Amino acid sequence: MVNQLGYDSSNKGTGNNMRWLRWVAVIPSSIFAWYTMFVFGMFALFCVRDHLYPPEGLISGQCMVWWYIYVEQTVIYLFVALSAFFVVICAAIIAPLHRMYVAWIAYLLGFLVAVYFLSQTSAIDEFMSAIFAGLLGVFSVAKLLGSPVLPNKSFQPTCWITARG
């Protein structure tokens, strides 16, 4: 007998236990992916600060080199985008079934978190970076799985390649 998640409940072996473990691991692994990119981003910012600008540009603990703010913002946008991308990818990879739905749910939850951060900080550039990178993550999952992006089978990943090729 198949339950609502698509599992055969007559199989009482370790397969069902592993599936449940993977379902339980979806949210913690996505949070881990976000924190990993956050830590890498902070490390990248420290490396930029310590290695790219001259020591004489440091005045009262602040970098006064004209280009530093642009490099700093680029690193922030990059790692915000990477965190959104990897949250969606990680959730879809860990999920045992319905990976496209999981990717969309991860994207929509990330969208809500980004809207909350936007309302608290007014960081529109970081918001846009996260939204577009998360959507790129959804499209990447569709491409990796070879499945349609939407449930009504529109936006087939193979159509994009053949239309341009």
| Domains of the chain by residue range | 27-164
pTM strictly above 0.85 = no
Q: Tell me which residue has tokens 């959804």.
A: 138
| d(C-alpha 129, C-alpha 114), whole Å | 10
Residue type, 93: I
Question: In this predicted structure, what is the pLDDT of residue 117?
Answer: 95
Two structure tokens written together for 159 = 């159509």
Question: In this predicted structure, what is the pLDDT of residue 153?
Answer: 65
Two structure tokens written together for 43 = 């490390």
How many Cβ atoms sit within 10 Å of the Cβ of residue 91? Answer: 27
Question: In this predicted structure, what is the pLDDT of residue 165?
Answer: 45
Question: In this predicted structure, what is the pLDDT of residue 1?
Answer: 46
| d(C-alpha 52, C-alpha 61), whole Å | 15
pLDDT means per 10 residues, the chain with 165 residues, are 48 71 91 96 90 73 79 95 97 91 95 96 95 95 83 59 48
Cα angle, residue 112 at apex, residues 110 and 115 outer, rounded to 5°: 110
| d(C-alpha 131, C-alpha 85), whole Å | 9
Report the SS3 class of residue 62.
strand
| d(C-alpha 66, C-alpha 74), whole Å | 14
Two structure tokens written together for 143 = 């491409």
Q: Which of 158, 120, 155 lies closest to 135, judged by CA?
A: 155
